[in-house]
């Protein structure tokens, strides 16, 4: 688990941002309830070139629902959306997001993010 403390400047002022890159590691599972507590928003990402990553995002969503605060906002982000060798169907992420009732975004390799709504 990699923790990246950052501060982000928004229109509302400076906001503390705590990024946790778990990469789905098994060591992270031992501490799974801890990072979700107090989180105001979670960005759940999957790699469209990796079907296991996509299916694991549903498992991660269930973990987040179980351990996070009730008012925690969640979004799903599909990464590498413009890759030629995708294994996850083009509309699968949007369908998953609609199914679980969260916003969907996709991320292009050119470092841009597209979608509707905000955290």
Greater pLDDT, 30 or 48: 48
Tell me, what's the pLDDT at 30? 55
β-strand pairing of 13-21 with 2-10:
antiparallel
Q: pTM for the complete prediction? A: 0.68
User: Which domains are delineated in the chain?
Assistant: 39-119 (3.40.50.300)
> For residues 105 and 18, which has the higher predicted lDDT (pLDDT)?
105
Q: Would you say residue 44 has pLDDT above 80?
A: yes
Q: How confident is the model at residue 118 (pLDDT cuts 50, 70, 90)?
A: very low
């Amino acid at each position: 688990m990699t923790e990246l403390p950052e501060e982000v400047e928004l229109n509302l002022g400076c906001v503390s941002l705590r990024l946790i890159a778990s990469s789905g590691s098994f060591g992270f599972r031992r501490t799974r309830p801890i990072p979700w507590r107090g989180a105001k928003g979670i960005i759940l990402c999957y790699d469209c070139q990796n079907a296991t990553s996509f299916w694991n995002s549903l498992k991660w969503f269930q973990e987040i629902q179980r351990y996070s605060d009730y008012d925690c906002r969640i979004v799903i982000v599909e990464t590498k959306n413009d890759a030629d060798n995708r294994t996850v169907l083009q509309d699968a992420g949007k369908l998953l997001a609609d199914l679980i009732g969260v916003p969907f975004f996709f991320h292009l390799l050119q470092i841009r993010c597209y979608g509707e709504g905000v955290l």
